[in-house]
């Protein structure tokens, strides 16, 4: 009898743990999942079943994303490498045909080149929040026809490549999260190729309210119903009026959507009377010392 109990125990143990330190179960979608969390790993442990669809490797010591490390997992649907020490994505390797969700939150990425996700052509969700990303290329998210979610929140982006969204070939992009970056300017026409993005997050950026904020101002007015911010861990709230100016000083913390164009782009001050100002702006009255008269 004790032998039988030990045997049952060993069988259960074998079922629950594929290798001593990784746990096997199924996620909420009933996909086979293996989790190896917080073990100082720098490579995928031996012995993980190749039918695994969800591989969770959070809180380890991976320093780069090596596509070839996962090529044996032909069914891989989700790869979670959050909270590692990843600073580089290795150049394209074998294609991970079924990879749909890639989690790289809380790593050490500082920039992303062009086409860096090319090895995962089925990607639908990319989580890059809480890195140190300061630069992207126009084609960073190109060639991903099923892409729905891009999370870039809590990074250090000072500018966006103007054609970033143009070159997202997916027509199903739904979520674009830029909360908490260092953006001061939205490039003109940035959203024009994706005019009705359902979830756009733009709060906690130092937007500069000069004439160049005109595009963002009209985008917010037009897309008010699609602008959100995060509140707490799980809630989102409608937040077009939480996209605020960080300058110039007289507009500090004013909601951009509530401004009039004349607030951020005042018309030229009235011309003082006096005949020199009504003449053409460049008068070459003296060829040796051309006199340039300001237009305003
Ligand atoms: C992360 O990696 C860098 C090298 O890229 C290393 O210097 C640093 O000690 C690592 N940090 C941790 C917490 O492992
Ligand atoms: C993006 O990441 C941030 C920070 O981790 C998180 O709070 C937010 O919920 C994520 N946004 C989306 C749309 O998943
Ligand atoms: C993106 O494309 C625009 C227009 O083609 C170009 O001016 C800009 O330099 C590119 N930006 C990057 C980061 O490659
Ligand atoms: C913004 O991100 C920084 C870390 O990058 C974090 O310390 C801060 O709490 C975040 N602020 C908000 C409002 O999310």
Q: Could you give all domains of the chain from N- to C-terminal order, each with its CATH number?
A: 21-136+147-159 (3.80.10.10), 183-268 (3.80.10.10)
Which letter does DSSP use for residue 160 in this model? -
Atom of ligand 1 nearest to the CA of 61: 14
Q: Is 115 helix (H, G, I), strand (E, B) or coil?
A: coil
Assess whether the C-beta atom of 204 lies below 6 angstroms from ligand 2. no
Assess whether the C-beta atom of 177 lies below 6 angstroms from ligand 2. yes
Assess whether the C-beta atom of 154 lies below 6 angstroms from ligand 2. yes
Q: What is the largest CA-CA distance in the chain?
A: 113
In which band, very low, low, confident or very high, does the pLDDT at 20 lie, cut at 50, 70 and 90? Answer: low
Please check the confidence at residue 269 and state whether its pLDDT lies above 80: no
> Nearest residue CA, atom 11 of ligand 4?
180
Please check the confidence at residue 33 and state whether its pLDDT lies above 60: yes
pLDDT of residue 267: 87
Measure the CA–CA gap between 66 and 58, rounded to whole angstroms: 15
Please check the confidence at residue 56 and state whether its pLDDT lies above 80: yes
Burial 245-259 (b: 16+ CB within 10 A, else e): beeeeebeebebbeb
- Tokens 């979670």 belong to which residue? 80
153 alpha carbon – ligand 2 mean position (Å) = 6
Please check the confidence at residue 18 and state whether its pLDDT lies above 90: no
The rounded percent of the chain whose pLDDT value lies above 70 is 84
> Nearest residue CA, atom 14 of ligand 4?
180
List all residues whose CB is within 6 A of at least one atom of ligand 4: 154, 180, 204
Assess whether the C-beta atom of 61 lies below 6 angstroms from ligand 1. yes
* pTM exceeds cut of 0.75: yes
pLDDT of residue 268: 78
Please check the confidence at residue 14 and state whether its pLDDT lies above 70: no
Q: Tell me the pLDDT of the chain averaged across its residues.
A: 89
């Amino acid at each position: 009898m004790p032998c039988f109990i030990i045997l049952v125990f060993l069988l259960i143990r074998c079922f629950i743990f594929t290798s001593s330190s990784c746990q096997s179960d199924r996620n909420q979608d009933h996909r086979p999942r293996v989790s190896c969390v917080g073990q100082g790993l720098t490579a995928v442990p031996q012995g993980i079943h190749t039918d695994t669809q969800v591989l969770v490797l959070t809180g380890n010591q991976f320093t780069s994303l090596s596509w070839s490390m996962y090529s044996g997992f032909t069914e891989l649907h989700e790869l979670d490498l959050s909270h590692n020490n990843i600073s580089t994505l290795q150049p394209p390797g074998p294609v991970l045909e079924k990879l749909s969700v890639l989690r790289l939150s809380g790593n050490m990425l500082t920039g992303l080149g062009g086409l860096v996700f090319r090895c995962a052509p089925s990607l639908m969700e990319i989580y890059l929040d809480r890195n140190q990303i300061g630069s992207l290329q126009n084609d960073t998210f190109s060639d991903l026809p099923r892409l729905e979610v891009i999370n870039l929140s809590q990074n250090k982006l000072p500018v966006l490549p103007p054609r970033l969204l143009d070159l997202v070939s997916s027509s199903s992009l739904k979520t674009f999260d830029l909360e908490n970056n260092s953006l001061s300017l939205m490039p003109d026409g940035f959203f024009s190729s994706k005019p009705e993005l359902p979830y756009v997050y733009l709060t906690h950026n130092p937007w500069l309210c000069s004439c160049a904020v005109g595009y963002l101002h009209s985008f917010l007015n037009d897309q008010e119903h699609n602008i959100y911010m995060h509140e707490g861990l799980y809630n989102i709230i409608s937040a077009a009026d939480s996209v605020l100016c960080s300058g110039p000083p007289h507009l500090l913390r004013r909601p951009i959507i509530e401004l009039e164009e004349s607030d951020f782009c005042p018309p030229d001050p009235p011309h003082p009377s006096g005949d020199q100002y009504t003449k053409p702006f460049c008068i070459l009255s003296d060829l040796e010392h051309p006199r340039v008269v300001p237009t305003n």
